[in-house]
Amino acid sequence: MALLEVKNLEKNFGETKVLRDINFTLEKGQTLAIIGSSGSGKTTLLRCLNLLETPDSGSIHVEDEVIFDPSLPAVTSAEAIRRKRLHFGLVFQNFNLFPQYTALQNVELARRLLAEERPDFKQNKKAIYAEIRENAEKLLTQVGLQNRMDRYPHQLSGGQQQRVAIARALALRPDILCFDEPTSALDPELTGEVLKVIRGLAEEKMTMVIVTHEMEFARAVADQVLFMDEGIVAEAGTPEEVFGNPKNPRTKQFLDKYKEM
Amino acid sequence: MSFWTVTTILADGFINTGKLFFLTLLGALPLGLLVCLASMSKWSPLAKLADSTSSKAMQWIAGFRPISAVMKFIVWIVRGSPLMIQILIVYYGPGLLFGLPLLPRFTAALLTFIINYACYFSEIYRGGIQSIPKGQYEAGEVLGMTSRQIFFKVTLLQLIKRIVPPMGNEFITLVKDTALVRVIAVYELIWMGESFIKKGMMWPLFYCAVFYLAATAILTFALDRFEKKLSYFN
Ligand SMILES: Nc1ncnc2c1ncn2[C@@H]1O[C@H](COP(=O)(O)OP(=O)(O)O)[C@@H](O)[C@H]1O
Ligand SMILES: [Mg+2]
């Protein structure tokens, strides 16, 4: 059974149909790359998965749990939404690190707050915080920032900030980690260090959904590729199928544009 | 009359000025936040109308936000008219219009200042809140934080950092605005300074300026220190 299942997902902003009949599944440990021109609905799709937007219809399931399904009695309490969100992590295009916290504190914050809800929090506070600290240090080391843990975001380069953001998302151990054009806001010479970290996660079999304009990277890392065009999935398949032998003329057109660059 | 005697008499008036200053802040800082939240209220009781019609006029009516509109109107009036006139209205108005007894002078002055400054502060709060990028809230939400946690752990300090400089300017203006309550003869610094004129002494009134300068200097220093404390992040 697939880890993530998205069925007939639709999203409108007023009159604009931004997502129409989106269907896909993702197996545990696999990486899905989403490509498509600007305005095709990629960001909106990720935001629906993370419940930052409420879809208009369709459903989202993670394993047996309903993340979104309007045909069932509505789960609209802020608390329920907050719980369901934890299945997903999201790395933003412009990082969105918390400026008043160091890299380490950025990674620790959400877990420290969640830990307060544990029944044994009061008795084991020290041990719990120590474990969170250890984990955060491990994650920052994993993204190559062992020497930058005490820096504030403004003291870090864009590439370093994005790696902190990845560590921050990983700290909550999401089932599925989503990336929204993680290197688009970076200078070209800094994209490599971020892509390397994501590639490492793919090798460790993290389940990921990556919206990207880095075609070579998508081809190398993804197990599955979706090409989105004006709110629909215009083509889906393995990287070999989509990049090597696109069936939809729109896909061909889109990929040709990238080859020219 | 010796310089020292004048100083002690003026200092006595200055204590009242200080009282007006601190009590105004005590009232206007929280009231300003309430005014700000009310003026940002999205409550629109007629929103349902929008579904049933496509006419432009009806759409406009459906989008009407009464709380926000009323608050913005009040803020516009208060910020757009002279504080001195507001003091006179609060002091004499209830008596002239409804035959009510006069409020004590200091109370009337304080009430006017709190309302007036709350309106200025509300705009500063609003600017601060609106200047925090949406991405900060969304990053918190995606990390499973509650809206309370996002407010206290993520946005509050950023908000404070942004509002301290404009608030500081208002504090300094407030120090000097306290002189206006002289129009209803509250015994503060300027009133004391002026009382010497009757005795044929002009200089004590000018000497008053030194008190204001000293107060604003201390205030500026304290605000600078506080801003520096928050300068470790952007
Ligand atoms: N909050 C919103 N309100 C109205 N329209 C929006 C909103 N967010 C996105 N859109 C519109 O939805 C379409 C898809 O946007 P987006 O998902 O950001 O595309 P992509 O990430 O592929 O560039 C665009 O036409 C955009 O203008
Ligand atoms: Mg986008």
Per-residue pLDDT of chain A (261 residues; tens, 9 = 90+): 799 999 999 999 988 999 999 999 999 999 999 999 999 999 999 999 999 999 999 999 998 888 888 777 666 678 888 888 999 999 999 999 999 999 999 999 999 999 999 999 999 999 999 999 999 999 999 999 999 999 999 999 999 999 999 999 999 999 999 999 999 999 999 999 999 999 999 999 999 999 999 999 999 999 999 999 999 999 999 999 999 999 999 999 999 988 776
In a domain, B190, yes or no: yes
Mark the residues whose beta carbon lies below 5 A from ion ligand 2. Answer: A 43
**Average pLDDT for chain A:** 93
Cα gap A115→B87, rounded to integer Å: 53
| B234: contact with A, CB 8 A cutoff | yes
Beta-sheet strand order (sheet of A65-68): A16-26, A4-13, A57-62, A65-68
Residue of B nearest to A110 (CA): B143
As for how many domains chain B has, the answer is 1
CA of B202 to the centre of ligand 1 (A): 69
In a domain, B225, yes or no: yes
CB contact under 8 Å between B144 and A50, yes or no, is no
pLDDT at B53 over 80: no
Q: Best of A50, A83, A93, A98 to disrupt the B interface by mutation (most B CBs within 10 Å)?
A: A98
Which amino acid, one-letter code, is at A130? A
In a domain, B98, yes or no: yes
CB atoms within 10 A of CB A205: 11
Nearest ligand to residue A44 Cα: 1
Residue of A nearest to B139 (CA): A96
B111-115 average pLDDT score: 97
Looking at residue B103, the DSSP 8-state letter turns out to be: P
Which amino acid, one-letter code, is at A73? P
What's the pTM? 0.88
Residue pairs between chains A and B whose CB atoms are closer than 8 Å: 63
Cα gap B171→B226, rounded to integer Å: 14
Atom of ligand 1 nearest to the CA of A180: 21
In a domain, B47, yes or no: no
Cα gap A47→B142, rounded to integer Å: 10
| A50: contact with B, CB 8 A cutoff | yes
In the numeric block, the tokens 């002055």 are attached to B109
In a domain, B49, yes or no: no
Tell me the helix, strand and coil percentages in chain B, rounded to 5.
80, 0, 20
CB contact under 8 Å between A92 and B139, yes or no, is yes
Cα gap B12→B189, rounded to integer Å: 8
CB contact under 8 Å between B232 and A114, yes or no, is no
CATH of the domain at B120: 1.10.3720.10
Q: Give the percent of chain A with pLDDT over 90.
A: 87
Q: Which domain holds residue B196?
A: 3-42+56-230
In a domain, B88, yes or no: yes
Q: How far is residue B34 from each of residues B20, B44, B64, B68, measured CA to CA in Å?
A: 21, 18, 20, 12
Question: Among A10, A22, A44, A228, which residue has the most ligand 1 atoms within 8 Å of its CB, making it the best to mutate?
Answer: A44
Question: Among A11, A12, A16, A56, which residue has the most ligand 1 atoms within 8 Å of its CB, making it the best to mutate?
Answer: A16
In a domain, B48, yes or no: no
Please list, in sequence order, all residues whose beta carbon lies within 8 angstroms of the beta carbon of residue B46, skipping any fewer than 6 positions away.
B61, B62, B64
Q: Contact, A56 vs A11, CB < 8 A?
A: yes
CB contacts of A114 in chain B (<8 Å) are 144
Q: Contact, A152 vs A102, CB < 8 A?
A: yes
Q: Contact, A69 vs A60, CB < 8 A?
A: yes
User: Buried b vs exposed e over A161-199: b needs ≥16 C-beta within 10 Å?
Assistant: bbbbbbbbbbbbebbbbbbbbbbeebeeebbebbbebbe
